Amino acid sequence: MAQLKDRIENGLNDVRILILGAQVLIGGGFRMIFEPEFPHLPYATQIAQLCGLGLMVFGLGLLLFPAAFHQIAERGEETFRIQKLTSAALDYGLLPFAVGLAVGIFTVAQKFAGNSAAWGSAISLGAFALIFWYGIAYLNSRSSRKDMAEKNERQNEDEKQHEGTPLTDKIKQVLTETRMVLPGTQALLGFQVVIFLMQDFDRLPEALKWIHFGSLVAVSISAVLLIAPAAFHRIAEHGEDSERFHRVASGFMLSAMFFLGIGVAGDFDLVTYKITKSSALALWISGILLLFFYGLWFAYPGWKRWSEAKAHSR
């Protein structure tokens, strides 16, 4: 059986793979709404595209959750809870992308092949994704159920004997988690720069243009913060591992997620208004999205850390 640190590292690497794929779908989804032909699509299709994009952004929030929880609630330590949490994020975070992928192919197919081909393509591709992402995995998981009880017993015994995570492993994990967050920033930056040159952008209200500019600044700050640990590690620490570098890298990553949440919510406000023409609805939905991000990434892990520290002090 793989050691705990290897299972955590493998889980984080799995999440990285998913986010690398997610950035393409999310970036394409944002840009599609500002393409010249998009307003000519049926309104129901436009709403479906917005909902599909919203689901993928929701899925991105789930995929980034373990990184924030690991640094805030677990203080970078290797625990069975973070390993289980990463597995849960992988299990549930993929589902919104299957739906978003199906909606995207529906939009494209409807444009040149009609409704029948669009529905057939969307259902087929969605089913294909679900089979390969969930079906095959769950069918093969049955063969390993006999070993689960024994593994759980070993895990409980190991957790009792766990005395802390070596510094080198903590630094490897925080750098892996930083690389997890970076693709989400990449997904937005390309869209945010190009959109300024699109005709539909000039037709937006002035306030929304400034919101988009603020989102661009927020995501740019996020990108700078995510790159900063590598420079700090090389320049300040000469490539050596230290507690200071772990604290700095963790702080940079969490700060980058704070600004990334603002950028995603701001641009989702933009695309929601583009389709619904309702400033109030767009602001309301983007506000809920921002609260979801901050609640999942910061409030819940912070509460868990505080409650456990309080319990240990008694």
pLDDT digits (tens, 9 = 90+) for 180-193: 777 767 767 767 76
From residue 276, alpha-carbon distances to 39, 50, 137, 201, 299 in Å are 11, 10, 39, 15, 31
How many whole angstroms separate alpha carbon 69 and alpha carbon 95? 21
R_g of the chain, CA atoms, integer Å: 21
> Would the pLDDT of 286 be above 90?
yes
Q: Residue 9 pLDDT > 90, yes or no?
A: no
Q: CB-based burial of residue 307 (10 Å sphere; 0-12 exposed, 13-18 middle, 19+ buried)? A: exposed
Q: Which amino acid is at 250?
A: S
**Residue 124: both structure tokens together:** 């087929």
Of 46-50, 147-151, 160-164, 195-199, highest mean pLDDT: 46-50
> Which pLDDT belongs to residue 193?
67
* CB neighbour list of residue 94: distance below 8 Å, 6 or more residues apart: 18, 59, 133, 134
The per-residue pLDDT for 1 is: 46
pLDDT of residue 231: 75
Confidence at residue 137, expressed as pLDDT on a 0 to 100 scale = 65
**11/288 Cα distance (integer angstroms):** 29
CA distance 35 to 301: 39
Q: Which two tokens stand for residue 20?
A: 């690398």
SS3 readout for 238-276: CCCCCHHHHHHHHHHHHHHHHHHHHHHHHHHHHHHHHHH
**Mean pLDDT on 134-138:** 71
pLDDT digits (tens, 9 = 90+) for 158-205: 544 555 677 777 777 777 777 777 776 776 776 776 777 677 777 888
In angstroms, rounded to a whole number, what is the distance separating the alpha carbons of residues 75 and 232?
Answer: 20
Between 26 and 189, whose confidence is greater?
Answer: 26
Residue 104 is which amino acid?
G
Q: What is the pLDDT of residue 160?
A: 46
What is residue 299's predicted lDDT score, i.e. its pLDDT?
Answer: 93
Average pLDDT, the chain: 80
pTM for the whole thing? Answer: 0.78
Sign of CA dihedral 183, 65, 12, 228: positive
- Mean pLDDT on 232-236: 76
218 vs 37: which has the higher pLDDT: 218
CA 99 to chain centre: 16
State what percent of residues in the chain have pLDDT above 90: 14
**Per-residue pLDDT for 147 more than 70?**
no
> Which helix (H) or strand (E) element contains residue 217?
helix 206-235
∠ CA 64-9-232, nearest 5°, is 75
Q: Does position 303 have pLDDT exceeding 50, yes or no?
A: yes
- Alpha-carbon gap, residue 143 to 137, rounded angstroms: 11
pLDDT at position 52 over 50:
yes
Residue that wins the pLDDT comparison between 253 and 239: 253
Could you tell me the two tokens for 150?
Answer: 């024994």
How far is Cα 73 from Cα 306, in angstroms, rounded to an integer? 8
Q: Of the given ranges (128-137, 189-198, 234-243), which has the lowest mean pLDDT?
A: 189-198
Q: What burial letters (b/e) apply to 110-119, b meaning 16+ CB within 10 Å?
A: beeeeeeebe
> Which 3 state secondary structure label does DSSP give 114?
helix
Token readout for 171 is 């630094």
pLDDT band at 157; cut points 50, 70, 90: low
